[in-house]
Protein backbone atom coordinates (compact mmCIF):
# COMPACT_ATOMS: atom_id res chain seq x y z
CA UNK A 1 0.00 0.00 0.00
CA UNK A 2 2.83 2.41 0.86
CA UNK A 3 4.66 1.72 -2.40
CA UNK A 4 1.50 2.04 -4.50
CA UNK A 5 0.67 5.29 -2.71
CA UNK A 6 4.15 6.74 -3.29
CA UNK A 7 4.04 5.75 -6.95
CA UNK A 8 0.63 7.34 -7.37
CA UNK A 9 -0.94 4.04 -8.43
CA UNK A 10 -3.61 4.10 -5.72
CA UNK A 11 -4.35 5.79 -2.42
CA UNK A 12 -2.77 4.11 0.60
CA UNK A 13 -6.16 3.22 2.10
CA UNK A 14 -7.45 1.86 -1.21
CA UNK A 15 -4.52 -0.55 -1.18
CA UNK A 16 -5.21 -1.49 2.42
CA UNK A 17 -8.85 -2.05 1.57
CA UNK A 18 -7.90 -4.99 -0.67
CA UNK A 19 -7.82 -6.97 2.59
CA UNK A 20 -11.51 -6.18 3.00
CA UNK A 21 -12.36 -7.27 -0.53
CA UNK A 22 -10.57 -10.59 -0.12
CA UNK A 23 -12.53 -11.33 3.08
CA UNK A 24 -16.03 -10.61 1.75
CA UNK A 25 -18.63 -13.38 1.92
CA UNK A 26 -22.17 -13.29 0.47
CA UNK A 27 -25.22 -13.05 2.76
CA UNK A 28 -25.89 -16.73 3.40
CA UNK A 29 -28.64 -17.96 5.68
CA UNK A 30 -28.16 -21.09 7.78
CA UNK A 31 -30.33 -23.32 9.96
CA UNK A 32 -30.33 -20.72 12.76
CA UNK A 33 -30.29 -17.28 11.15
CA UNK A 34 -31.71 -15.62 8.04
CA UNK A 35 -29.12 -13.24 6.55
CA UNK A 36 -29.93 -10.58 3.97
CA UNK A 37 -28.34 -7.45 2.54
CA UNK A 38 -30.76 -4.55 2.51
CA UNK A 39 -30.92 -0.82 3.19
CA UNK A 40 -32.16 1.19 6.16
CA UNK A 41 -32.72 4.84 5.32
CA UNK A 42 -30.69 4.39 2.11
CA UNK A 43 -27.65 3.04 4.00
CA UNK A 44 -26.58 -0.57 3.26
CA UNK A 45 -26.91 -2.99 6.16
CA UNK A 46 -26.53 -6.73 6.62
CA UNK A 47 -29.51 -7.98 8.60
CA UNK A 48 -29.51 -11.10 10.79
CA UNK A 49 -32.86 -12.52 11.92
CA UNK A 50 -33.06 -15.57 14.21
CA UNK A 51 -35.19 -18.41 12.86
CA UNK A 52 -36.31 -19.87 16.17
CA UNK A 53 -39.53 -18.69 17.75
CA UNK A 54 -38.92 -15.54 19.76
CA UNK A 55 -41.01 -16.50 22.79
CA UNK A 56 -41.89 -12.83 23.09
CA UNK A 57 -40.19 -9.76 21.67
CA UNK A 58 -36.52 -10.05 20.76
CA UNK A 59 -33.39 -8.13 21.69
CA UNK A 60 -31.58 -6.13 19.00
CA UNK A 61 -27.97 -5.10 18.39
CA UNK A 62 -27.04 -2.32 15.95
CA UNK A 63 -23.38 -3.06 15.13
CA UNK A 64 -20.68 -0.88 13.57
CA UNK A 65 -17.56 -2.56 12.19
CA UNK A 66 -14.02 -1.33 12.74
CA UNK A 67 -11.33 -0.40 10.23
CA UNK A 68 -10.27 3.14 11.07
CA UNK A 69 -13.22 4.69 9.22
CA UNK A 70 -11.35 3.71 6.04
CA UNK A 71 -11.57 -0.09 5.86
CA UNK A 72 -13.91 -2.93 6.72
CA UNK A 73 -17.32 -4.23 5.72
CA UNK A 74 -20.23 -5.95 7.44
CA UNK A 75 -19.78 -8.70 4.87
CA UNK A 76 -16.23 -9.59 5.89
CA UNK A 77 -15.94 -13.20 7.02
CA UNK A 78 -15.05 -12.26 10.60
CA UNK A 79 -17.83 -9.73 11.05
CA UNK A 80 -20.37 -11.97 9.37
CA UNK A 81 -19.43 -14.80 11.73
CA UNK A 82 -19.64 -12.60 14.83
CA UNK A 83 -22.99 -11.13 13.81
CA UNK A 84 -24.65 -14.48 13.10
CA UNK A 85 -23.25 -15.85 16.38
CA UNK A 86 -24.71 -12.91 18.31
CA UNK A 87 -28.04 -13.28 16.50
CA UNK A 88 -28.26 -17.00 17.24
CA UNK A 89 -26.90 -17.05 20.80
CA UNK A 90 -28.84 -13.99 21.96
CA UNK A 91 -31.92 -14.73 19.82
CA UNK A 92 -31.45 -11.14 18.68
CA UNK A 93 -31.96 -9.10 15.54
CA UNK A 94 -28.53 -7.81 14.46
CA UNK A 95 -28.20 -4.85 12.12
CA UNK A 96 -24.60 -4.61 10.87
CA UNK A 97 -24.07 -1.27 9.12
CA UNK A 98 -22.04 -0.62 5.97
CA UNK A 99 -21.32 3.06 6.41
CA UNK A 100 -19.36 4.96 3.77
CA UNK A 101 -15.58 5.05 4.14
CA UNK A 102 -12.65 7.44 3.79
CA UNK A 103 -10.84 8.58 1.69
CA UNK A 104 -13.89 8.91 -0.57
CA UNK A 105 -15.98 10.18 2.35
CA UNK A 106 -14.78 12.22 5.31
CA UNK A 107 -16.15 12.95 8.77
CA UNK A 108 -19.01 13.37 9.57
CA UNK A 109 -20.32 11.09 6.76
CA UNK A 110 -19.47 7.86 8.61
CA UNK A 111 -21.18 9.11 11.76
CA UNK A 112 -24.19 10.38 9.80
CA UNK A 113 -24.64 6.98 8.12
CA UNK A 114 -24.63 4.96 11.33
CA UNK A 115 -26.79 7.53 13.12
CA UNK A 116 -29.29 7.49 10.27
CA UNK A 117 -29.58 3.70 10.45
CA UNK A 118 -29.91 3.67 14.23
CA UNK A 119 -32.56 6.37 14.24
CA UNK A 120 -34.50 4.58 11.49
CA UNK A 121 -34.35 1.25 13.32
CA UNK A 122 -35.52 2.79 16.62
CA UNK A 123 -38.85 3.84 15.10
CA UNK A 124 -41.75 2.00 16.70
CA UNK A 125 -43.05 0.69 13.38
CA UNK A 126 -39.64 -0.76 12.42
CA UNK A 127 -39.06 -2.37 15.81
CA UNK A 128 -42.55 -3.85 15.60
CA UNK A 129 -41.89 -5.17 12.08
CA UNK A 130 -38.92 -7.17 13.36
CA UNK A 131 -40.56 -8.15 16.66
CA UNK A 132 -38.01 -6.22 18.70
CA UNK A 133 -38.59 -5.15 22.29
CA UNK A 134 -38.04 -1.35 22.32
CA UNK A 135 -36.59 -1.62 25.84
CA UNK A 136 -33.87 -4.09 24.74
CA UNK A 137 -31.90 -2.38 21.96
CA UNK A 138 -28.18 -1.58 22.11
CA UNK A 139 -25.46 -0.14 19.90
CA UNK A 140 -22.11 -1.89 19.65
CA UNK A 141 -18.89 -1.64 17.71
CA UNK A 142 -15.19 -2.39 17.69
CA UNK A 143 -12.31 0.06 17.21
CA UNK A 144 -13.58 2.81 14.87
CA UNK A 145 -16.98 1.13 15.19
CA UNK A 146 -16.74 1.54 18.96
CA UNK A 147 -16.05 5.22 18.34
CA UNK A 148 -19.20 5.45 16.22
CA UNK A 149 -21.28 3.54 18.77
CA UNK A 150 -20.20 5.90 21.57
CA UNK A 151 -20.93 8.93 19.39
CA UNK A 152 -24.36 7.60 18.38
CA UNK A 153 -25.31 6.87 21.98
CA UNK A 154 -24.40 10.45 22.94
CA UNK A 155 -26.20 12.06 19.99
CA UNK A 156 -29.42 10.14 20.63
CA UNK A 157 -29.66 11.88 23.99
CA UNK A 158 -30.06 15.21 22.21
CA UNK A 159 -32.56 14.09 19.56
CA UNK A 160 -36.17 14.90 20.49
CA UNK A 161 -37.44 12.82 17.57
CA UNK A 162 -36.13 9.58 19.07
CA UNK A 163 -38.44 8.21 21.76
CA UNK A 164 -36.80 4.79 22.20
CA UNK A 165 -33.92 4.78 24.68
CA UNK A 166 -30.91 2.51 24.29
CA UNK A 167 -30.62 -0.27 26.86
CA UNK A 168 -26.82 -0.43 26.58
CA UNK A 169 -23.71 0.39 24.58
CA UNK A 170 -20.87 -2.06 23.91
CA UNK A 171 -17.50 -0.52 23.04
CA UNK A 172 -14.77 -2.96 22.04
CA UNK A 173 -11.28 -1.39 22.14
CA UNK A 174 -12.77 1.90 20.95
CA UNK A 175 -10.98 4.97 19.58
CA UNK A 176 -12.46 7.82 21.59
CA UNK A 177 -10.30 10.92 21.21
CA UNK A 178 -7.99 12.55 18.66
CA UNK A 179 -6.51 15.24 20.92
CA UNK A 180 -3.64 13.46 22.64
CA UNK A 181 -1.98 10.82 20.46
CA UNK A 182 0.92 10.34 22.88
CA UNK A 183 -0.86 8.58 25.72
CA UNK A 184 1.09 5.89 27.62
CA UNK A 185 -0.67 3.23 25.52
CA UNK A 186 0.43 4.96 22.31
CA UNK A 187 4.00 4.97 23.62
CA UNK A 188 4.02 1.43 25.01
CA UNK A 189 2.39 -0.14 21.95
CA UNK A 190 3.70 2.08 19.16
CA UNK A 191 5.04 -0.86 17.19
CA UNK A 192 2.77 -3.68 18.33
CA UNK A 193 1.02 -5.81 15.67
CA UNK A 194 -2.38 -5.15 14.10
CA UNK A 195 -2.49 -1.44 14.99
CA UNK A 196 0.73 0.57 15.26
CA UNK A 197 0.80 4.20 16.37
CA UNK A 198 1.70 5.31 12.85
CA UNK A 199 -1.29 3.47 11.37
CA UNK A 200 -3.67 4.87 14.00
CA UNK A 201 -2.42 8.40 13.27
CA UNK A 202 -3.01 7.73 9.57
CA UNK A 203 -6.54 6.50 10.28
CA UNK A 204 -7.34 9.56 12.40
CA UNK A 205 -5.99 12.01 9.86
CA UNK A 206 -7.66 10.30 6.90
CA UNK A 207 -10.98 10.47 8.74
CA UNK A 208 -10.77 14.25 8.32
CA UNK A 209 -8.54 14.91 5.30
CA UNK A 210 -5.75 13.63 3.05
CA UNK A 211 -3.82 16.84 3.74
CA UNK A 212 -0.42 15.59 4.97
CA UNK A 213 -0.12 18.69 7.15
CA UNK A 214 -2.67 17.30 9.60
CA UNK A 215 -1.09 13.84 9.54
CA UNK A 216 2.36 15.27 10.28
CA UNK A 217 1.01 17.45 13.09
CA UNK A 218 -0.82 14.48 14.62
CA UNK A 219 2.32 12.33 14.34
CA UNK A 220 4.23 14.88 16.42
CA UNK A 221 1.17 15.45 18.66
CA UNK A 222 1.13 19.17 17.82
CA UNK A 223 -2.26 19.52 16.16
CA UNK A 224 -4.29 21.22 18.93
CA UNK A 225 -4.02 25.00 19.18
CA UNK A 226 -3.88 27.06 22.38
CA UNK A 227 -7.49 28.20 22.09
CA UNK A 228 -8.62 24.55 22.35
CA UNK A 229 -6.27 23.57 25.15
CA UNK A 230 -9.14 23.62 27.69
CA UNK A 231 -10.34 20.36 26.10
CA UNK A 232 -7.30 18.50 27.40
CA UNK A 233 -9.03 18.24 30.78
CA UNK A 234 -11.25 15.54 29.25
CA UNK A 235 -8.28 13.40 28.18
CA UNK A 236 -5.85 14.13 31.00
CA UNK A 237 -4.39 10.67 31.54
CA UNK A 238 -2.48 11.72 34.66
CA UNK A 239 -5.88 11.99 36.34
CA UNK A 240 -7.93 9.40 34.46
CA UNK A 241 -5.56 6.42 34.24
CA UNK A 242 -4.75 4.09 37.16
CA UNK A 243 -1.19 4.13 38.46
CA UNK A 244 -0.29 0.79 36.88
CA UNK A 245 -1.08 2.10 33.41
CA UNK A 246 0.78 5.37 33.86
CA UNK A 247 3.90 3.35 34.72
CA UNK A 248 7.03 5.49 34.45
CA UNK A 249 5.46 7.97 32.04
CA UNK A 250 5.43 11.60 33.14
CA UNK A 251 2.56 13.86 32.14
CA UNK A 252 3.53 17.26 30.78
CA UNK A 253 0.53 17.95 28.54
CA UNK A 254 0.65 17.86 24.74
CA UNK A 255 2.58 20.53 22.89
CA UNK A 256 0.36 23.10 21.21
CA UNK A 257 0.17 23.62 17.47
CA UNK A 258 -0.99 26.24 14.99
CA UNK A 259 -4.57 27.45 15.02
CA UNK A 260 -5.08 26.91 11.30
CA UNK A 261 -5.49 23.14 11.46
CA UNK A 262 -8.55 23.19 13.70
CA UNK A 263 -10.06 25.93 11.56
CA UNK A 264 -9.63 23.86 8.38
CA UNK A 265 -10.45 20.48 9.96
CA UNK A 266 -12.60 21.10 13.04
CA UNK A 267 -13.74 17.48 13.13
CA UNK A 268 -11.04 16.30 15.52
CA UNK A 269 -12.43 18.67 18.16
CA UNK A 270 -16.01 17.46 17.63
CA UNK A 271 -17.48 15.04 20.23
CA UNK A 272 -19.05 13.10 17.33
CA UNK A 273 -15.47 12.14 16.39
CA UNK A 274 -13.98 12.32 19.90
CA UNK A 275 -16.68 11.16 22.35
CA UNK A 276 -14.32 11.66 25.30
CA UNK A 277 -14.83 15.41 24.83
CA UNK A 278 -18.47 15.19 25.93
CA UNK A 279 -19.43 17.08 29.08
CA UNK A 280 -20.11 15.28 32.34
CA UNK A 281 -23.73 16.41 32.08
CA UNK A 282 -24.12 14.52 28.82
CA UNK A 283 -22.24 11.45 30.00
CA UNK A 284 -24.42 10.92 33.06
CA UNK A 285 -27.45 10.32 30.83
CA UNK A 286 -25.86 7.41 28.95
CA UNK A 287 -27.06 3.80 29.30
CA UNK A 288 -25.18 0.97 31.03
CA UNK A 289 -21.89 0.42 29.23
CA UNK A 290 -19.56 -2.47 28.48
CA UNK A 291 -16.00 -1.46 27.55
CA UNK A 292 -13.29 -3.87 26.45
CA UNK A 293 -9.68 -2.71 26.50
CA UNK A 294 -6.57 -4.69 25.62
CA UNK A 295 -3.19 -4.21 27.27
CA UNK A 296 -1.18 -4.40 24.04
CA UNK A 297 -3.16 -1.79 22.14
CA UNK A 298 -2.52 1.88 21.33
CA UNK A 299 -6.22 2.54 22.05
CA UNK A 300 -6.11 0.98 25.52
CA UNK A 301 -6.08 4.29 27.38
CA UNK A 302 -8.99 5.77 25.42
CA UNK A 303 -11.29 3.04 26.73
CA UNK A 304 -9.88 3.16 30.26
CA UNK A 305 -10.36 6.94 30.49
CA UNK A 306 -13.91 6.71 29.15
CA UNK A 307 -14.74 4.02 31.70
CA UNK A 308 -13.42 6.27 34.46
CA UNK A 309 -15.35 9.31 33.27
CA UNK A 310 -18.57 7.33 32.89
CA UNK A 311 -18.25 5.86 36.37
CA UNK A 312 -17.60 9.32 37.81
CA UNK A 313 -20.78 10.49 36.05
CA UNK A 314 -22.78 7.68 37.68
CA UNK A 315 -23.18 5.41 34.65
CA UNK A 316 -23.08 1.64 35.36
CA UNK A 317 -19.88 0.46 33.64
CA UNK A 318 -18.45 -3.01 33.13
CA UNK A 319 -14.83 -2.56 32.13
CA UNK A 320 -13.13 -5.74 30.96
CA UNK A 321 -9.38 -5.23 30.61
CA UNK A 322 -7.67 -8.14 28.85
CA UNK A 323 -4.04 -8.09 29.96
CA UNK A 324 -2.96 -10.71 27.41
CA UNK A 325 -4.82 -9.27 24.40
CA UNK A 326 -4.08 -6.95 21.50
CA UNK A 327 -6.13 -4.73 19.23
CA UNK A 328 -8.63 -6.65 17.12
CA UNK A 329 -8.49 -9.78 19.26
CA UNK A 330 -12.22 -10.50 18.94
CA UNK A 331 -11.71 -11.21 15.24
CA UNK A 332 -9.41 -14.14 15.98
CA UNK A 333 -12.09 -16.78 16.49
CA UNK A 334 -12.02 -18.40 13.04
CA UNK A 335 -9.55 -20.81 11.48
CA UNK A 336 -6.76 -20.25 10.47
CA UNK A 337 -6.42 -17.19 12.75
CA UNK A 338 -8.03 -18.72 15.81
CA UNK A 339 -6.80 -17.85 19.29
CA UNK A 340 -8.05 -18.78 22.75
CA UNK A 341 -7.95 -15.11 23.78
CA UNK A 342 -10.32 -14.22 20.94
CA UNK A 343 -12.86 -16.82 22.05
CA UNK A 344 -12.57 -15.75 25.69
CA UNK A 345 -13.18 -12.08 24.89
CA UNK A 346 -16.08 -12.86 22.55
CA UNK A 347 -17.77 -15.00 25.20
CA UNK A 348 -17.21 -12.34 27.87
CA UNK A 349 -19.11 -9.61 26.07
CA UNK A 350 -21.84 -11.87 24.69
CA UNK A 351 -22.39 -13.24 28.22
CA UNK A 352 -22.70 -9.64 29.42
CA UNK A 353 -25.29 -8.99 26.72
CA UNK A 354 -27.28 -12.07 27.75
CA UNK A 355 -27.52 -10.67 31.27
CA UNK A 356 -27.89 -6.97 30.53
CA UNK A 357 -29.80 -6.62 27.24
Q: Looking at the predicted structure, is the pLDDT value of residue 32 above 90? A: yes
| Residues 6+ away with beta carbon under 8 Å from 140 | 61, 62, 63, 64, 146, 149, 169, 170, 171, 172
351 is catalytic: no
143 is catalytic: yes
Q: What is the pLDDT of residues 253-286, one digit of tens each?
A: 788 988 889 999 999 999 999 999 999 999 999 9
Residue 62: C-alpha distances to residues 99, 191, 257, 260 (Å)? 12, 32, 38, 37
Per CATH, the number for 1-356 is 3.40.50.1820
Which sequence spans correspond to the domains of the chain? 1-356
How far apart are alpha carbons 151 and 93 in whole angstroms? 21
Q: What is the pLDDT of residues 200-259, one digit of tens each?
A: 999 999 999 999 999 999 999 999 999 999 999 999 999 999 999 988 898 987 889 888
The CA radius of gyration of the chain, in Å to the nearest whole number, is 19
Q: What is the pLDDT of residues 100-141, one digit of tens each?
A: 999 999 999 999 999 999 999 999 999 999 999 999 999 999
Which pLDDT belongs to residue 10?
57
Q: Which one is catalytic: 83, 87, 96, 143?
A: 143
Region 300-304: mean pLDDT is: 98
- DSSP symbol at 266: G
Region 87-93: mean pLDDT is: 97
Which pLDDT belongs to residue 5?
55
How far apart are alpha carbons 72 and 65 in whole angstroms? 7
Global confidence as pTM:
0.95
327 is catalytic: yes
Q: Which one is catalytic: 73, 188, 297, 302?
A: 297
Amino acid sequence: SKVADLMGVMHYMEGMNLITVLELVPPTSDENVTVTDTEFNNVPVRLYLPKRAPGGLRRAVVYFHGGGWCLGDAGMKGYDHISRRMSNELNAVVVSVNYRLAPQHRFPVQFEDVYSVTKFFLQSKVLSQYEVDPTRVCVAGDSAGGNLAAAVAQQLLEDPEVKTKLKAQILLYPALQALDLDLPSYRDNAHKPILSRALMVRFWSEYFTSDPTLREAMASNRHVAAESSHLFQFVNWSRLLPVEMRKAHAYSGPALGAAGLAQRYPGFLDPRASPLLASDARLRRLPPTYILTCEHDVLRDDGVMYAERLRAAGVPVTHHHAKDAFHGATMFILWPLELAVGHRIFHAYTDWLKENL
